Amino acid sequence: MSRNAFTAKAGEYIGQALLDNCDNSKLEKLEFRGVDLGITGLVRIIDAANKTPALEKLDCGVLTDEALKMLSDRLAANEHLQELQFSETADHQKYWSAEAKVMFCDMLKTKTKLKKVKTTFQKCNWDNDESKEFLEAIDFYTDQKKKAKEKDEDLHDRMKSTNQEEMF
């Protein structure tokens, strides 16, 4: 669905279709790369992602500052997504603010199970210190989540190997 001329209405309809079939959906990946779904469409897609256990990878498309804040708020309840991708809007009046970046990092730090997050900035924002710090924070928190998951899996494997029924 990437690079299509979708509007917020398309996001609403696709999100509603996912919500209506969330328990039966086998959809693992949903991409809106290069698409601005607007706040309404993005809300519906995120709500659907929160209720669809099979959905592990999501590209939210192009986000404004307001959309990044909303994403941070709504995605906090998600327990299924493993990978997230989004990019900054080309509208220079709606670039991501420091507040929105902090909200996203706080959500990532404590509330989701995301193990991989990829963001794309506009060229004029790519090399500034604030953007670099945002990317470093994202990498730090996702690495922590990966390590914690690996540690849990190792513990589970060790516990399973000490089970007498497994030994024999």
Counting Cα atoms < 13 Å in the Cβ hemisphere of 86 gives: 24
Model confidence pLDDT, tens digit, residues 20-75: 887 778 889 999 988 889 999 999 999 999 998 889 999 999 999 999 999 999 99
Alpha-carbon distance of 43 to 38, in angstroms, equals 9
For 86, phi then psi, to 5°, come to -160, 160
- Does 84 have pLDDT greater than 90? yes
Alpha-carbon distance of 80 to 85, in angstroms, equals 15
Which of the four pLDDT bands, split at 50, 70 and 90, describes residue 149? Answer: confident
Residue closest to 78 by CA, chosen among 104, 49, 105: 49
- pLDDT value, residue 101: 94
- pLDDT value, residue 45: 93
- Integer-rounded Cα radius of gyration of the chain: 18
- pLDDT value, residue 127: 79
Q: Is residue 1 part of a domain?
A: no
Q: Is residue 2 part of a domain?
A: no
- pLDDT value, residue 144: 87
Which of the four pLDDT bands, split at 50, 70 and 90, describes residue 145? Answer: confident
Q: Is residue 49 part of a domain?
A: yes
Residue closest to 59 by CA, chosen among 36, 19, 88, 32: 32
Q: Is residue 3 part of a domain?
A: no
- Does 152 have pLDDT greater than 90? no
For 153, phi then psi, to 5°, come to -65, -40
Q: What is the pTM of this model?
A: 0.82
For 50, phi then psi, to 5°, come to -70, -25
Q: How many domains does the chain have?
A: 1
Residue closest to 36 by CA, chosen among 110, 89, 83, 109: 89
Q: Is residue 16 part of a domain?
A: yes
- pLDDT value, residue 74: 93
Please state, rounded to an integer, the average pLDDT across all residues of the chain. Answer: 87
Instruction: Name the 3-class secondary structure at 108.
Output: helix
Bigger pLDDT: 82 or 4? Answer: 82
Print the domain residue range for 161: 8-167
- Does 165 have pLDDT greater than 80? no
Under DSSP, the state recorded for 128 is: S
- pLDDT value, residue 71: 95
CATH of residue 46: 3.80.10.10
Residues 6+ apart with CB under 8 A from 92: 122, 124
- pLDDT value, residue 118: 94
